Structure 1
Amino acid sequence: MEKVEWEDVQRLVLSGYPKLPFSAYLFWHFEPDKVDAAKRWLGSLAKRLTCAVARGDRQAINLALSAPGLKHINVSDNMLNSFSPEFLEGMAPKPTATGPSRRSNILGDLGDSSPEFWEWGGWNGSRDIDGMLLLYASDRSSLMALIDTEIKAMAGAAEPALRQNGERIVLEGRIYEDHKEHFGFKDGISQPMIEGSPRASKKRKKSSGDPDENKELTADEKRIHLVKPGEFILGYRNERRIRISSISGTKDSKGAEARDIRRNGTYLVFRQLEQDVRAFNDFVANTAGRVYGRTDEPAREEIAARLVGRTREGHPLVPVDRGPDASPRNDFLYHFEDRFGTACPIGAHIRRANPRDTIGPDADTALRLSKMHRIIRRGRPYGERLDSGMGNSASRKASRGISFIALNADIAGQFEMIQHSWLNNTHFGGLHAGTDPFGHFSCTGDVVTIQDRPINHYIDRPRPFVRVRGGAYFFLPGIEAVRALARPELV
């Protein structure tokens, strides 16, 4: 087992900061022609970044850089070219003469979710983003103070990139006390575990503390979810036993061997996904009436769970003998427990996002293959919850959604593959039609398939309940790499 240099890894890789429920995503761009100031700022920021072994309960700071941001601080072409083509090209390349770019087609960023309509990161305004600060705090007043402190610290080197009517815009995130997103489901339950991480390596007692670290793992959870570090952290062996090696022969301006700034870093995918809660609730009620002939709460809850594959409290629909007060189960597989999707529909969101042991020539091989396509999710809801009584007009019109964050070492083989081949695939798992019920992508004749006996239900799917409002590919560097980027000599 490889030993990961956790003291050099930013803590976001290991934790979603559940004790810091208030967060902000501050997008910024470097000031033109102020490379020296930019490097000095990065040098000072490196001292404040929260590393994986830190135990801060009051605030946390993480840094991510885009490809244009690396270019601005004069990272050499040789080093830049070592990064993945997806990262260098970006999430939203400009359209070609014949239509949307290949990447937009792969991601399904078409129609209402086209980069043409994004609020940032798309083809029009607020496209030039050099980096992002991910800020976390225990309460909102502390978060606001942290935002102000970091904006003052970057003055003269960088400035916030998102503005409206002259006012800066900071996208905030929030973990609600019930840990549910705007559609009403508990989120972040199923996550891969990095081999050699504190959670995977030690037995811990269950407590009310950080669920990312304190929950004791079962043998089945380790077998299903334990993944090689190279799937998420560059410089280590992945599930294919391949390591992205250092670039030999690269020298800095003084002739010394240059550090591979990719080591201990990872790629960060950020997507601002707006959710139409009212449209989702209407669809659930209408579908309940069609399938069960009634629209009472039990019927609506059953339909909602079938779309996700879990109940709103996070319990999977895969059959299992557990008490009603037990914590949500995650050590389950599909092949032997629910192969035909009569409990958890084949096209349900969780089954598409992580097929576990179903996509492959046999169950064991499929489980091994699935580990090559896992992502770590660190997203949070943004915006206020929809007024449950529907009496607040401002609440109904307000924007709300998910700030989706994925960490992976291979954007094409992990995030993009999941999006294109599983979520957007109309023939996923042997289906004849339909895409992810919670996805932003839809196509002509889109349906939701709910397996049943004696016949399946095919429900016409309206326009998506989710719309992409912005996005970008970033690199979350190791802390030593940030220090290297801050040095006057070229990298």
Structure 2
Amino acid sequence: MEIIEKEDIQGIIVKGYAHLPACKFVLLGMGSKQAAQQWLQLIAQNITRGSEKKPPAAVNLAFTYEGLKVLGLDGSSLDTFPLEFEDGMTTPHKQLFLGDFGNSAPDKWEWGGPQQTPVHALLMLYAPDETSLQLLYDMQRQHFAQFQLTEIKRLDTAVLGQRKEHFGFHDGIAQPTIKGLGKQDTPENTVAAGEFILGYKDAYNQYPDTPQVPLLQGKESSLPPAVKPGMLDFGKNGSYLVFRQMAQDVQVFWQYIESITMQDGKSDEQAMIQLAAKMVGRWPSGAPVSVCPDKDDTSMESRDDFGYRAVDSAGLRCPIGSHIRRTNPRDAMDASSSKSMEIANKHRILRRGRSYGKPVCDSLEPAEILRSKNFEGERGLYFICFNAAINRQFEFIQNAWVNNPKLLGLNHERDPLIGNNAHPDDAHQCGFFSVPANGLRRHYSNIPDFTTVKGGAYFFMPGLHALAYLAAR
């Protein structure tokens, strides 16, 4: 078994910092190469490593393609990065891949869009509480002017109770376990390290493509040699980070659910929760609908060891178009059960997102959300994931599963939560969702966009040795 070099991997890749609920994400622009390198030499001493089991606070750092340019990587080195990293999220063909149309179009983004100031770096700060986080942020900010750093945008987060997201559902359950990090899990959910961290074998039993840099004359480097003579493996122990700010319209979501489940002009709370659970694929507690088809069961709130083929191949329990079934079809694709799982695991991502904005109510129970009138302000999710191949993992999920209107026999449907119903190929310009039942199929139409993309970018998070190389160029 390959030994994972956690000492050289930035900590957020290895663990989600659940014990550090307070965090900020700072989007930075860098000035001159020299000033940026001097800052990097300073901050590199404070970068949290994956080998730290429970750090009292955490600092992690990633760069865009343009940021690596500022830091002095030449064209031949930059050419070894994948094209999707260079292209970013905002080109016209990426709109088609990611479904960023209508209100989610890049020209309407608040950051990261083609009209905005280019983002060069992402500074990720984590702490046990808001007071400690502010101190950590102030400590970092005091160096910005000195090293010609511009704070483009500071993204604050919110701690939501009971591990829920703003719509009221338990979140962050279905995470792959990285093979070789020591945690035990089912074989089906244990995924090769090279799917998330460069320098290790992936699900194809191959080493993923890795960026390379030249050996600097007269300077030592701890980077391992690359296959090409005279080049170093810059990607070893690094990963590609996808960051998307997604606003959630909680009021629109629950008002829509209420409007299509009313009986004789009266709200039917149980019918509302049941339909919302069908769209999500889990009940508010987190219990999977495929395991608990009739009602919520809090004893199943974190259950993730289930499939669809044996008990729910037709989607009678969990609709085929539901959010969690689309984003991870598990054993339900057109192949044998084991082959389907193998295929699905070649498109997994490692999620590290956080929520932002004030929740509409403290409990985030659907009944209380419905009674609440506190819908002012923006709230949503900072979607963050790691993958070794952006095109085969994140972009494939978005294009082939989330926004595919004909996924696994469906017709004219997209993901009911995060699919974009303003897609230009959608002749009706409205969303559909179907719920099979006893040979029939109940269709729901005119689904509005419940989420809106507000900004985004692709980053590369280098290993610690790669950070040292950038600082020494």
Q: Which moved more, 1:137-146 or 1:438-447?
A: 438-447
Count of aligned residue pairs for this structure pair: 450
SS at match of 1:240: coil
Which whole-Å deviations, capped at 9, do the CAs of 1:185-220 have from their partners, x for residues lacking one?
Answer: 1110000111001323xxxxxxxxxxxxxxxx4xxx
Distance 1:364 1:408, change over 3 A: same
Query: Which residue number corresponds to residue 263 of structure 1?
Result: 236
Is residue 2:276 matched to residue 1:312? Answer: no
SS in 2 for 1:366: helix
Partner of 2:365: none
Shift of 1:457: 0.6
- The reply to whether residue 455 of structure 1 matches residue 445 of structure 2 is no
**C-alpha distance 85-383 of structure 1, shift in aligned 2 (>3 A):** same
* Structure 1 residue corresponding to 2:129, chosen from 139, 145, 152: 139
1:335-346 → structure 2 map (5 Å cutoff): 335-346=309-320
Secondary structure of the corresponding residue to residue 161 of structure 2: coil
Kindly provide the CA deviation profile for residues 86-126 of structure 1, in whole angstroms up to 9, marking residues without a partner as x: 11111113xxxxxxx11111111111110010000012123
Runs of 4+ aligned residues of structure 1 deviating over 4 Å after TM superposition are 245-249, 255-258, 320-324, 387-393
Q: Please report how far the alpha carbon of residue 461 of structure 1 lies from its aligned counterpart in structure 2 after TM superposition.
A: 3.2
What's the TM-score, normalizing by structure 2? 0.90
Distance 1:134 1:383 in 2: 18
* C-alpha displacement of 1:359: 2.1
Q: Deviations over 1:343-392 (max 9, x none)?
A: 01100000000001122422211110111100011111101012557898
Write the distance in 2 (CA, Å) between the matches of 1:481 and 1:281: 46
Q: Indicate the SS of the match to 1:269.
A: strand
Residue in 2 that maps onto 1:71: 69
Could you say if the C-alpha distance between residues 396 and 247 of structure 1 is closer, same or farther in structure 2, counting changes exceeding 3 Å? Answer: closer
1:370 partnered with 2:344: yes
Does residue 1:16 correspond to 2:16, yes or no?
yes
Aligned position for 1:51 = 49
1:181 counterpart letter in structure 2: E
How far 1:20 moved relative to its partner? 0.9
* TM-score, normalised relative to structure 1: 0.87
1:177 corresponding residue in structure 2: 161
Helix, strand or coil: the match of 1:70? helix
Question: Contact 1:279/1:465 (CA < 8 Å) preserved in 2?
Answer: yes
* Structure-2 separation of matches of 1:238 and 1:46: 28
Query: For residues 62-141 of structure 1, what are the structure 2 equivalents within 5 Å?
Result: 62-93=60-91, 101-126=92-117, 128-141=118-131
SS for the counterpart of 2:142 is helix
1:411 matched residue in structure 2: 390
Q: Match of 1:259, SS? A: strand
Identity %: 34
Change (3 A) 1:57 1:262: closer
The one-letter amino acid of 1:81's match is D
- 1:6 positional shift: 1.0
Q: Secondary structure at the match of 1:170?
A: strand
Structure 1 partner of 2:176: 192
Is 2:249 the partner of 1:276? Answer: yes
CA contact (8 A) 1:390 1:396 kept: no
Which residue number corresponds to residue 210 of structure 1? none
The aligned amino acid for 2:81 is F
Q: 1:440 to 1:339 in 2, by over 3 A?
A: closer
In 1, the alpha carbon distance for the partners of 2:213 and 2:309 equals: 48
Moved more, 411-420 or 455-464: 455-464
**Structure 2 counterpart SS, 1:47:** helix
Query: Quick check: 1:426 aligned with 2:405?
Result: yes
Distance verdict in 2 for CA 1:41–1:356, change over 3 Å: same
Ranges in structure 1 where 5+ consecutive residues have no aligned partner: 94-100, 163-168, 201-216
Counterpart residue number, 2:356: 382
1:243-258 equivalences under 5 Å are 243-244=207-208, 250-254=214-218, 257-258=230-231
CA drift of 1:57 comes to 4.4
Question: How far off is 1:440 after superposition?
Answer: 4.4
- The 1:306–1:173 alpha-carbon spacing in structure 2 relative to 1, beyond 3 Å, is same
8 Å CA contact 1:379, 1:406 repeated in 2: yes
Per-residue deviation, 1:43: 1.5
Query: Which among 228, 234, 243 is matched to residue 198 of structure 2?
Result: 234
The change in CA–CA distance for 1:156 and 1:249 in structure 2 (over 3 A counts) is closer
- What is the CA-CA distance between 1:8 and the residue it aligns to? 0.6
8 Å CA contact 1:129–1:161 kept in 2: the answer is no
User: 1:268·1:475 contact (CA, 8 Å) conserved in 2?
Assistant: yes
- What is the match of residue 28 of structure 2? 28
Pair 1:2 & 2:2 matched: yes
- The whole-number CA distance in structure 2 between the counterparts of 1:152 and 1:449 is 53
